[in-house]
Amino acid sequence: MSLTSLDIIALIAIVIVGTPHGAMDINLVLNASDERGKKIAAHVFYLLIAFLSFLAWASFTTVSLALFLMISTIHFGRSNPVGMALETIKVRWQGYAAVFFMGGIATIFIPALYWSEVRALFEILGADAQVIKGLGVVGVVTWAGSVVISLALVRSKRAFIVCLALCLIALNKSVFSPLSLFGIYFCILHSSIHFLRAMRFLKAPIASPPTMFLVNTVLSWCLILAAYGFFLTEGDRLAASLSALFAVLFALTVPHMFLIDLLLPKFKPYWRLNLSAREL
Protein backbone atom coordinates (compact mmCIF):
# COMPACT_ATOMS: atom_id res chain seq x y z
CA MET A 1 0.00 0.00 0.00
CA SER A 2 1.27 3.45 -0.94
CA LEU A 3 -0.04 6.76 0.31
CA THR A 4 -1.13 9.53 -2.03
CA SER A 5 -0.54 13.21 -1.38
CA LEU A 6 -4.18 13.45 -0.29
CA ASP A 7 -3.63 10.65 2.23
CA ILE A 8 -0.55 12.34 3.67
CA ILE A 9 -2.41 15.63 4.05
CA ALA A 10 -5.25 13.79 5.79
CA LEU A 11 -2.87 12.04 8.18
CA ILE A 12 -1.13 15.32 9.03
CA ALA A 13 -4.53 16.91 9.71
CA ILE A 14 -5.51 13.98 11.95
CA VAL A 15 -2.28 14.39 13.93
CA ILE A 16 -2.53 18.18 14.24
CA VAL A 17 -6.30 18.62 14.64
CA GLY A 18 -7.81 15.24 15.45
CA THR A 19 -5.45 13.59 17.93
CA PRO A 20 -5.47 16.45 20.49
CA HIS A 21 -9.22 17.08 20.34
CA GLY A 22 -9.51 15.51 23.79
CA ALA A 23 -6.69 17.63 25.19
CA MET A 24 -9.18 19.63 27.27
CA ASP A 25 -10.49 16.55 29.06
CA ILE A 26 -8.56 17.41 32.22
CA ASN A 27 -10.02 20.92 32.19
CA LEU A 28 -13.50 19.44 31.79
CA VAL A 29 -12.93 17.20 34.81
CA LEU A 30 -11.72 20.15 36.89
CA ASN A 31 -14.77 22.15 35.90
CA ALA A 32 -17.26 19.35 36.49
CA SER A 33 -16.25 18.51 40.06
CA ASP A 34 -15.27 20.54 43.11
CA GLU A 35 -14.02 17.56 45.12
CA ARG A 36 -10.26 17.13 45.08
CA GLY A 37 -10.50 13.37 45.58
CA LYS A 38 -12.72 12.93 42.54
CA LYS A 39 -10.40 15.06 40.43
CA ILE A 40 -7.35 12.99 41.36
CA ALA A 41 -9.26 9.75 40.82
CA ALA A 42 -10.39 10.94 37.39
CA HIS A 43 -6.81 11.81 36.39
CA VAL A 44 -5.46 8.44 37.52
CA PHE A 45 -8.33 6.59 35.85
CA TYR A 46 -7.84 8.47 32.58
CA LEU A 47 -4.10 7.78 32.38
CA LEU A 48 -4.49 4.15 33.44
CA ILE A 49 -7.17 3.43 30.83
CA ALA A 50 -5.09 5.14 28.13
CA PHE A 51 -2.01 3.08 29.03
CA LEU A 52 -3.93 -0.20 29.13
CA SER A 53 -5.63 0.63 25.84
CA PHE A 54 -2.27 1.17 24.15
CA LEU A 55 -1.01 -2.16 25.49
CA ALA A 56 -4.19 -3.83 24.26
CA TRP A 57 -3.67 -2.42 20.75
CA ALA A 58 -0.05 -3.57 20.68
CA SER A 59 -0.96 -7.07 21.93
CA PHE A 60 -4.42 -7.69 20.45
CA THR A 61 -4.65 -5.47 17.39
CA THR A 62 -7.62 -7.17 15.73
CA VAL A 63 -9.78 -7.10 18.86
CA SER A 64 -8.72 -3.52 19.63
CA LEU A 65 -9.45 -2.34 16.10
CA ALA A 66 -12.90 -3.96 16.15
CA LEU A 67 -13.60 -2.35 19.52
CA PHE A 68 -12.26 0.98 18.24
CA LEU A 69 -14.66 0.96 15.31
CA MET A 70 -17.62 0.04 17.52
CA ILE A 71 -17.07 2.61 20.27
CA SER A 72 -16.20 5.29 17.74
CA THR A 73 -19.53 4.73 16.03
CA ILE A 74 -21.29 5.57 19.28
CA HIS A 75 -18.94 8.40 20.22
CA PHE A 76 -19.08 10.06 16.81
CA GLY A 77 -22.85 9.68 16.61
CA ARG A 78 -23.46 11.18 20.05
CA SER A 79 -21.53 14.27 19.02
CA ASN A 80 -24.24 14.85 16.38
CA PRO A 81 -21.79 15.73 13.59
CA VAL A 82 -24.45 16.56 10.98
CA GLY A 83 -26.67 18.58 13.31
CA MET A 84 -29.82 16.45 13.35
CA ALA A 85 -32.62 17.76 15.60
CA LEU A 86 -32.39 14.82 18.01
CA GLU A 87 -34.39 16.59 20.70
CA THR A 88 -37.47 16.41 18.47
CA ILE A 89 -37.36 12.63 18.13
CA LYS A 90 -40.28 11.18 20.08
CA VAL A 91 -39.39 7.48 20.02
CA ARG A 92 -36.21 6.59 21.88
CA TRP A 93 -35.05 3.71 19.66
CA GLN A 94 -35.34 5.97 16.62
CA GLY A 95 -32.92 8.31 18.36
CA TYR A 96 -30.48 5.46 18.82
CA ALA A 97 -30.82 4.70 15.11
CA ALA A 98 -30.07 8.34 14.21
CA VAL A 99 -26.95 8.27 16.40
CA PHE A 100 -25.81 5.03 14.78
CA PHE A 101 -26.45 6.47 11.32
CA MET A 102 -24.28 9.53 11.95
CA GLY A 103 -21.46 7.66 13.66
CA GLY A 104 -21.45 4.86 11.12
CA ILE A 105 -20.65 7.22 8.27
CA ALA A 106 -17.00 7.19 9.37
CA THR A 107 -16.71 3.68 10.80
CA ILE A 108 -18.96 1.65 8.47
CA PHE A 109 -19.82 3.51 5.26
CA ILE A 110 -16.30 4.67 4.39
CA PRO A 111 -14.59 1.30 5.09
CA ALA A 112 -17.30 -0.55 3.13
CA LEU A 113 -17.07 1.81 0.17
CA TYR A 114 -13.28 1.52 -0.02
CA TRP A 115 -12.88 -2.00 1.33
CA SER A 116 -9.92 -3.03 -0.84
CA GLU A 117 -7.88 -0.02 0.32
CA VAL A 118 -9.11 -0.29 3.90
CA ARG A 119 -8.31 -4.01 4.02
CA ALA A 120 -4.72 -3.22 3.04
CA LEU A 121 -4.60 -0.55 5.74
CA PHE A 122 -5.91 -2.94 8.39
CA GLU A 123 -3.34 -5.54 7.37
CA ILE A 124 -0.54 -2.97 7.65
CA LEU A 125 -1.77 -2.23 11.17
CA GLY A 126 -1.40 -5.93 11.94
CA ALA A 127 -5.10 -6.76 12.20
CA ASP A 128 -6.91 -9.76 10.70
CA ALA A 129 -8.90 -8.09 7.93
CA GLN A 130 -11.14 -11.12 7.45
CA VAL A 131 -12.36 -10.92 11.05
CA ILE A 132 -13.06 -7.22 10.66
CA LYS A 133 -14.86 -7.92 7.38
CA GLY A 134 -17.12 -10.47 9.05
CA LEU A 135 -18.08 -7.99 11.74
CA GLY A 136 -18.38 -5.32 9.08
CA VAL A 137 -21.09 -7.22 7.23
CA VAL A 138 -23.25 -7.06 10.34
CA GLY A 139 -22.35 -3.41 10.71
CA VAL A 140 -23.31 -2.56 7.14
CA VAL A 141 -26.72 -4.24 7.46
CA THR A 142 -27.37 -2.48 10.77
CA TRP A 143 -26.20 0.86 9.43
CA ALA A 144 -28.41 0.51 6.35
CA GLY A 145 -31.35 -0.04 8.69
CA SER A 146 -30.45 3.10 10.60
CA VAL A 147 -30.40 5.04 7.33
CA VAL A 148 -33.91 3.85 6.50
CA ILE A 149 -35.15 4.77 9.98
CA SER A 150 -33.53 8.21 9.83
CA LEU A 151 -35.14 8.91 6.46
CA ALA A 152 -38.53 7.21 6.74
CA LEU A 153 -39.40 7.51 10.44
CA VAL A 154 -37.32 10.34 11.85
CA ARG A 155 -37.76 12.18 8.55
CA SER A 156 -34.72 14.34 9.10
CA LYS A 157 -33.91 16.80 6.33
CA ARG A 158 -30.29 16.74 7.44
CA ALA A 159 -30.23 12.96 7.08
CA PHE A 160 -31.63 13.27 3.55
CA ILE A 161 -28.96 15.82 2.58
CA VAL A 162 -26.21 13.67 4.10
CA CYS A 163 -27.46 10.56 2.28
CA LEU A 164 -27.49 12.50 -0.98
CA ALA A 165 -23.89 13.60 -0.33
CA LEU A 166 -22.87 10.02 0.44
CA CYS A 167 -24.42 8.85 -2.82
CA LEU A 168 -22.46 11.48 -4.73
CA ILE A 169 -19.27 10.37 -2.97
CA ALA A 170 -20.00 6.75 -3.87
CA LEU A 171 -20.51 7.71 -7.53
CA ASN A 172 -17.25 9.66 -7.55
CA LYS A 173 -15.23 7.54 -5.15
CA SER A 174 -12.06 7.84 -7.20
CA VAL A 175 -11.88 11.53 -6.29
CA PHE A 176 -11.33 10.67 -2.63
CA SER A 177 -9.63 8.02 -0.54
CA PRO A 178 -10.73 6.38 2.73
CA LEU A 179 -8.08 8.26 4.72
CA SER A 180 -9.04 11.61 3.19
CA LEU A 181 -12.75 11.11 3.91
CA PHE A 182 -12.02 9.92 7.44
CA GLY A 183 -9.78 12.95 7.93
CA ILE A 184 -12.56 15.31 6.83
CA TYR A 185 -15.10 13.63 9.10
CA PHE A 186 -12.80 13.28 12.11
CA CYS A 187 -11.20 16.71 11.94
CA ILE A 188 -14.08 18.90 10.74
CA LEU A 189 -17.32 17.16 11.70
CA HIS A 190 -16.11 15.74 15.02
CA SER A 191 -12.94 17.22 16.50
CA SER A 192 -13.57 20.87 15.69
CA ILE A 193 -17.17 20.66 16.90
CA HIS A 194 -16.04 19.02 20.14
CA PHE A 195 -13.42 21.73 20.66
CA LEU A 196 -15.99 24.51 20.24
CA ARG A 197 -18.44 22.73 22.52
CA ALA A 198 -15.81 22.24 25.21
CA MET A 199 -14.73 25.88 25.00
CA ARG A 200 -18.33 27.02 25.44
CA PHE A 201 -18.67 24.72 28.45
CA LEU A 202 -15.51 26.19 30.00
CA LYS A 203 -16.68 29.71 29.05
CA ALA A 204 -13.28 30.39 27.52
CA PRO A 205 -12.54 32.51 24.43
CA ILE A 206 -12.10 30.41 21.31
CA ALA A 207 -8.78 32.08 20.55
CA SER A 208 -7.44 31.51 24.09
CA PRO A 209 -7.68 27.84 24.99
CA PRO A 210 -6.54 26.74 28.47
CA THR A 211 -2.81 26.23 28.98
CA MET A 212 -3.45 22.59 29.84
CA PHE A 213 -4.97 22.11 26.38
CA LEU A 214 -1.78 23.33 24.72
CA VAL A 215 0.39 21.19 26.99
CA ASN A 216 -1.70 18.06 26.39
CA THR A 217 -1.71 18.73 22.65
CA VAL A 218 2.08 18.69 22.56
CA LEU A 219 2.10 15.59 24.78
CA SER A 220 -0.23 13.78 22.38
CA TRP A 221 2.19 14.50 19.54
CA CYS A 222 5.07 13.25 21.67
CA LEU A 223 3.12 10.06 22.35
CA ILE A 224 2.81 9.46 18.61
CA LEU A 225 6.57 9.91 18.18
CA ALA A 226 7.25 7.53 21.08
CA ALA A 227 4.79 5.00 19.65
CA TYR A 228 6.50 5.29 16.28
CA GLY A 229 9.76 4.23 17.91
CA PHE A 230 7.92 1.39 19.66
CA PHE A 231 6.45 0.00 16.42
CA LEU A 232 9.55 0.60 14.27
CA THR A 233 11.04 -2.84 14.84
CA GLU A 234 11.57 -4.11 11.32
CA GLY A 235 12.33 -0.90 9.47
CA ASP A 236 8.86 -0.54 7.92
CA ARG A 237 8.31 3.19 8.37
CA LEU A 238 4.83 3.22 6.82
CA ALA A 239 3.56 0.46 9.10
CA ALA A 240 5.21 2.07 12.12
CA SER A 241 3.73 5.49 11.31
CA LEU A 242 0.18 4.21 10.81
CA SER A 243 0.37 1.89 13.82
CA ALA A 244 1.66 4.70 16.03
CA LEU A 245 -1.10 7.08 14.96
CA PHE A 246 -4.01 4.67 15.31
CA ALA A 247 -2.66 3.06 18.49
CA VAL A 248 -2.47 6.48 20.15
CA LEU A 249 -5.90 7.43 18.77
CA PHE A 250 -7.33 4.27 20.31
CA ALA A 251 -5.50 4.79 23.60
CA LEU A 252 -6.83 8.34 23.90
CA THR A 253 -10.32 7.61 22.57
CA VAL A 254 -11.22 4.99 25.20
CA PRO A 255 -10.81 7.24 28.29
CA HIS A 256 -12.08 10.24 26.31
CA MET A 257 -15.28 8.36 25.52
CA PHE A 258 -15.70 7.28 29.13
CA LEU A 259 -15.47 10.91 30.16
CA ILE A 260 -17.57 12.57 27.46
CA ASP A 261 -20.23 9.91 26.92
CA LEU A 262 -20.56 8.32 30.37
CA LEU A 263 -19.19 10.39 33.25
CA LEU A 264 -19.81 14.04 32.35
CA PRO A 265 -23.46 13.49 31.34
CA LYS A 266 -24.12 12.20 34.87
CA PHE A 267 -22.92 15.44 36.46
CA LYS A 268 -23.46 18.10 33.82
CA PRO A 269 -26.69 18.26 31.77
CA TYR A 270 -24.74 20.23 29.13
CA TRP A 271 -23.12 16.99 27.95
CA ARG A 272 -26.33 15.00 27.74
CA LEU A 273 -27.92 14.13 24.44
CA ASN A 274 -31.62 14.62 24.92
CA LEU A 275 -34.04 12.22 23.28
CA SER A 276 -37.63 12.88 24.21
CA ALA A 277 -36.43 14.88 27.24
CA ARG A 278 -34.22 11.99 28.42
CA GLU A 279 -30.49 11.50 28.04
CA LEU A 280 -29.15 8.83 25.71
- Residue 254 CA to residue 265 CA, distance in Å, equals 16
- Residue 9 CA to residue 239 CA, distance in Å, equals 17
Q: What range defines the domain where residue 255 resides? A: 5-279
- The closest alpha carbon to 210, from 76, 60, 27, 55, belongs to 27
pLDDT tens digits for the chain (280 residues)?
678 999 999 999 999 999 888 889 988 887 776 666 766 777 788 889 999 999 999 999 999 999 999 999 999 999 999 988 888 888 888 989 999 999 999 999 999 999 999 999 999 999 999 999 999 999 999 999 999 999 988 888 889 999 999 999 999 999 999 999 999 999 999 999 999 999 999 998 988 888 889 999 999 999 999 999 999 986 789 999 999 999 999 999 999 999 999 888 888 888 887 654 343 3
Q: Is the pTM of this model over 0.85?
A: yes
Number of domains in the chain: 1
Are 273 and 86 in contact by the 8 Å Cβ rule? The answer is yes
